[in-house]
Amino acid sequence: NIALVLQDRAARQIGAGEPHSWTSLQGARSTVSVDIPAGNRLVAIQPKNLASLKGVLRRTDHVDVLWTSNIKKGGEASTFLLLQDIPVYSVPYLENDLDKYLRLMLSMEDAALLTHAEENGSLRALIRNPGDDKKRDKPFQVSKSTLKKRMIKQPNAGRNRVELIIV
């Protein structure tokens, strides 16, 4: 029924020229679960920088995830590279969109890790270059003392630098 289609919203972001069907609509009877590969899970998170990703991040992109703990080790919070090269399933794409979640496709272990991290701190999603398939072998940690050491070694590092992304 064409009236049902015209009154419904897309269930996910549909790119220009991307084929879609009845299941692309929120009112469709089919579920998202058919899109999830065996062994993976779809996890919805609220990264702190989600508003800045709207309109920039696309369904086919990959992200790295940083976690800033609210568990103070030695009296200060730390930021860690938590996950790398994670496929994005969906992202709110309109400024006034009520959907406040970034959805990622993860293994069960990574889904548990990400869920625990979100419950104990804040997350940020970093968009990766599609051609960048390198991953860091060693995890890293940044804290207030790390930043102080860097500023002492390189007092002008990162200053007078502005990056603009024009979409």
pLDDT: which is higher, 79 or 11: 79
Task: Tell me the pLDDT tens digit for each residue of 47-78.
Answer: 888 888 877 888 889 999 999 988 765 667 88
Q: Are 24 and 12 in contact (CB under 8 A)?
A: yes
Among the ranges 8-12, 32-36, 134-138, which has the highest mean pLDDT value?
A: 134-138
Question: pLDDT category, 32, cuts 50, 70, 90?
Answer: confident
Confidence check: pLDDT of 85 > 80: yes
Give the least confident one: 18-22, 23-27, 103-107, 114-118: 23-27
Helix, strand or coil for residue 119? helix
Q: How far apart are CA 154 and CA 122, in angstroms?
A: 28
Per residue in 114-153, pLDDT (tens digit) is: 999 999 999 999 999 988 888 887 767 787 777 767 666 6
The answer, yes or no, to whether residue 37 has pLDDT greater than 70, is yes
Distance separating alpha carbons of residues 106 and 115, to the nearest angstrom = 11
Whether pTM exceeds 0.85: no
Over 70: is that where the pLDDT of 34 sits?
yes
Q: Which pLDDT belongs to residue 4?
A: 47
Share the mean pLDDT of the chain: 76
What does the pLDDT read at residue 127? 93
> How many other C-beta atoms can be found within 10 angstroms of the C-beta atom of residue 44?
14
Best CA proximity match to 47, nearest among 30, 32, 65: 65
Q: Summarize the confidence of residues 87-98 as an average pLDDT.
A: 71
Residue 90: how many CB atoms within 10 A of its CB?
Answer: 21
